[in-house]
Amino acid sequence: MAKPDETLLENLRSFSSATIFNAVVETMGATQGGRELEDKGGQPTCYTNHHLKYLTPEFGNIAGYAVTVEVTAIDPNSPSKPWMDYYKVLNETSGPIITFMKDIDAQKHRGASFGDNMAAVHKNLGVVGAIVEGTVRDLKGIKNVGMPIWGYGLVPGHGIFNLCNVNQTIQIADITVSPGDLAIADDEGCTIIPNNLDPYAVLNQAKTIIDRENEFQNLVKSPSFSLADWEDIAST
């Protein structure tokens, strides 16, 4: 899939991850809940789980393309690759990039997988945010760098830090992410736009959803709104 232009990314960033998920479902031809997709593989679960928290919500929404990486933060004997392999991938990938980093240590999340020095390097290599299935440290320094980051929590330390896999399809925070996937993340989590969907179509559907929801909100907030009005809406 050709990468969308910056104008599209800017427009995608203006919507919440929830609205983008709804737009994905409707672009696939379904209503919310995805009942129409039951005989087509079901509604995609392309949004992160409740364990993932936005640790720097002051930086707002981000949109970008996935680079994936698996690490260990404690185990000195885990299979390891040179860290430069990962940084070369970042350097060679057209941005904006969202790093998806998964801690696969036997002692998962016991050691921090991301800190302020990494944040500085990542930002200079075109990374606009990091989604970490693991823990983070140096949060104040990460904020000073200006790196949006999501994680499972905070710890102050780590052990031997090994790079295990780079740019492979991974399961992270209960979603499947492949290199180059288009992602939108905010204070509710991250949604992946499936690569078989036209992101422009998803964007247009998001606009339609917002218009529809604004109309609904204006109606139900009216002082004259009644149960009978709600019954009329529910029956259509």
Least Cα distance to 13 among 129, 118, 92 occurs for: 129
- Predicted model pTM: 0.92
* pLDDT exceeds 70 at position 4: no
Mean pLDDT taken over the chain:
93
Render pLDDT for 152-195 as a digit per residue (tens, 0 to 9). 999 999 999 999 999 999 999 999 999 999 999 999 999 999 99
Distance CA 85, CA 50 (A): 31
Domain boundaries, the chain: 46-193
Residue whose entry in the numeric block shows the structure tokens 């009216």: 222
Pick one of 3.40.50.720, 3.40.50.300, 2.60.40.420, 3.50.30.40 as the CATH number of 46-193.
3.50.30.40
Q: List strand residue ranges (DSSP E) for 82-229, in order.
A: 97-103, 112-114, 127-133, 135-136, 149-151, 153-154, 162-166, 170-172, 175-177, 182-186, 189-193
50 residue type, one letter: H
Contact predicate 10/101, CB 8 Å: no
pLDDT at 1: 46
For 165, how many CA atoms within 13 A lie in the half-sphere containing its CB?
Answer: 15
